A and B are shown apart, each in its own frame.
Chain A
Amino acid sequence: MTLFLEQCLNGLQLGLLLFLLAAGLTLVFGIMDLVNLAHGSLYMVGAYLAAWFAKRFDSFFIGLAAALPVALLLGIVLEVLVIRRLYGRDHLVHVLATFGLILFFNEAVRLVWGAAGLTLALPEFLGTWVQVIPGVPYPVYRVAIIVVGLLVAAFLYFLVQHTRVGMLIRAGAADREMVGALGVNIRLLYTLVFGVGACLAALAGVMAAPILTVQIGMGETILILAFVVIVIGGIGSVRGAFVAAIIVGVLDTLGRAFLPGALKQTFGAAAASTAAPAISAMFIYLLMAAFLIVRPEGLFPAAGGRK
């Protein structure tokens, strides 16, 4: 029983890590109708920046604090130079342009920081473990991921539902021209939203760095998972992304935890040891396919009748 609870906690933690990345992606997608494959690159750059600053100033928190504004700035520059020109165009053009950005960022990071990758060292108190469930030591840093994930969720909920900016965001997503006609600087708004998205991606990168290390191409593997999350949740819905991220995180973890044992009992050890990881690897895609077949618009279809 404690093992089951522990695995659920593991799943929750993985889910919230995914949510951090998916939140920015779904925000940008929902509001600007932009498919941003380079979101994973921003995640990578955020991790690199944090690792680099942290090493330079010998502090995890300075690394975190310095990486986020730089990522915000990078997001804004990127929006002005490239992304701005993509609004209102076909999704295929988005795919082409942001794919080009991935190539560029991967190679640029290699030129700046080398091919070997970096690590982001944790301060001592985050590197230990506590007993969340009695008798089971659990890494403090994983608890920190859960806390940060919940805080970001709360912040986004507040931002979108209860602020003037949030109102504009919602209105802008529903009808861009109308908001513009009412005298709101929609251009600036979009730039800011993209910057916030970049910032969220960087935050996800920083949070992931101490457990996953900082590597070139780290964005691509996890980007697919983030896309799975926002598609299950319903594109553009932060709430959907939150629920879907936790579903994906928990089910994926429980699958890895208990599937091999279950298969062993039914098919024998040899078959199970091969089949279980293959099935659990496919599992997340099976889940997404199943969701899309049953609910082609995701769990929480964004309001406003986007096509």
Chain B
Amino acid sequence: MSTRLQFALGAGLLIALAAIPPVASLAGIPFLLTLFTRIVIVAIASVSLNLILGYGGMYSLGHAVYIGIGGYTVGILAFHGVHSGLVQWPLALAVSALFALVTGALCLRTRGVYFIMITLAFAQMVYFLTVGVAKYGGDDGLTIARRSSFGGLVNLADRTTFYYVSLAFLLAAVLVVWRISRSHFGMVVRGACANDRRMQALGFPTYRYRLAAYVIAGTMGGLAGALLANQTDFVNPEMLSWTRSGDLMIMVILGGSGSVIGPVAGTVAYMVLEEVLSGITEHWQIILGPLVVLMALVRQGGIVGWLSPKRHA
């Protein structure tokens, strides 16, 4: 897809997203803001997953684990009375990065479906850990009494502020992925996806490059987790169940993996569709299911792919 079209789509999406709070308050539908805050946060996770899935060919079915790790870091710190965002958030990112580094080093020894399964395995281990640890609520989850505080800088308890903070992070995430995809580093990661052996023969230590991409994606996932924990004032194991990882994967593919803006479009489309359909009928999955199948069959490249006039490749 052409850069110009991507840019146009990205700018359009961003403007539409930025307009949500005034629209919600003008139209008297405050729930719109609640819904879209969630969408924006999940989109950060999708964008980060796309970095490894779309560009690096690393099909992770365990990406929700970073949402969980980021969220639980914030939740556990709050539980112990540490409410400062300046402590909570950097730590959430650091723990996510560390987890990505350790598991990534092992996961990247495998490829294809084996990679899918080993990422799932590590995510499931953390999932069962969170279910089992009674001190932090186990299956009941952990209620967060106060949102992360940043002194007088920003007040996350304000819904509109929180929304724009999340949106700013989404924009940053998109820019980071966009920069990476066009950098030397990104080229190596993409090259390793297309033909790892050749890249290695050319002298690139592709393993390290791919691991670095994996860690960056995990860290950004952790950020989404820290935001989500603040938005729901709550963390629980469900955040990192494998079906959540599956949902993220679906959103990325739906939007168009390997295009910077695709995952954002996919997340918005999927979550809005879910909301609209579930409002129409309790049996909404019987509509959504075939719709998803159809989208997979009709044309590759997801939403972004359908919008492009012509595909080259």
Report if A180 contacts B (CB, 8 A).
Answer: no
- Give complex CA distance A100, B288 in Å: 7
Decide if A282 touches B125 in the complex (CB within 8 Å): yes
In the assembled complex, A102 has its CB within 8 A of some CB on chain B: yes
The reply to whether the CB of A188 lies closer than 8 angstroms to some CB of chain B is no
Asked if B59 lies at the interface with its beta carbon under 8 angstroms from chain A, I say yes
Chain A window 106-130, contacts with chain B (Cβ cutoff 8 Å), 1 for yes, 0 for no: 1110110000000000000000000
Question: What is the total number of residues of chain A having a CB less than 8 Å from a CB of chain B?
Answer: 47
Closest B residue by C-beta to A103: B289
Cβ of B184 under 8 Å from chain A: no
Q: Which residues of B contact A82 (CB under 8 A)?
A: 293, 297
A128 to B24, CA, bound (A): 64
Q: Which of A92, A101, A277 has the most CB of B within 10 A?
A: A92
Given A93-B296, A103-B288, A235-B113, A224-B242 contact (CB < 8 Å): yes
B250 touches A96 (CB 8 A): yes
**A104 proximity list for chain B (CB < 8 A):** 285-286, 289-290, 293
Question: In chain B between 114 and 130, which residues have their CB closer than 8 angstroms to a CB of chain A?
Answer: 114, 116-118, 120-122, 124-125, 128-129
Closest 3 CB pairs of A and B: A278-B132, A104-B289, A100-B292
- The interface residues of chain A, by DSSP majority, are classed as helix
B128 x A282 contact (CB < 8 A): yes
Which B residues are CB-close (under 8 A) to A106?
A: 285
Segment among B3-11, B104-112, B169-177 that sits at the interface with chain A: B104-112
Closest A-chain residue to B283, C-beta based?
Answer: A107
Count, chain B residues at interface, CB 8 A: 46
B contacts with A: majority SS: helix
Bound CA span A91–B285, Å: 23
CB <8 Å contact, B296 and A97 = yes
Is B181 in contact with chain A by the CB < 8 A criterion?
Answer: no
B134: interface (CB < 8 Å)? yes
Q: How far is the CA of A272 from the CA of B55 in the complex (A)?
A: 44
Q: Does A70 contact B (CB under 8 A)?
A: no
Q: Does A297 contact B (CB under 8 A)?
A: yes
B117 engages A296 (CB within 8 Å): no
**A162, CB-defined interface residue at 8 Å:** no
- Residue contact B286 to A107, C-beta cutoff 8 Å: yes
Known: A111-B283, A224-B120. A296 touches B300 (CB 8 A): no
21 A–B contacts, CB within 8 A, in A order: A29-B113, A35-B113, A86-B296, A90-B300, A91-B59, A92-B53, A92-B253, A96-B295, A96-B296, A97-B292, A100-B290, A100-B291, A101-B289, A104-B289, A231-B117, A274-B134, A282-B125, A282-B128, A285-B121, A292-B121, A307-B111
Contact of A292 with B110 at beta-carbon distance under 8 Å, contacts A227-B117, A274-B134 already known: yes
Chain B residues closer than 8 Å to A100, beta-carbon distance: 288-296
Within 8 Å CB of B253, what residues of A? 92-93, 95-96
CA distance A288 to B118 in the complex (A): 7
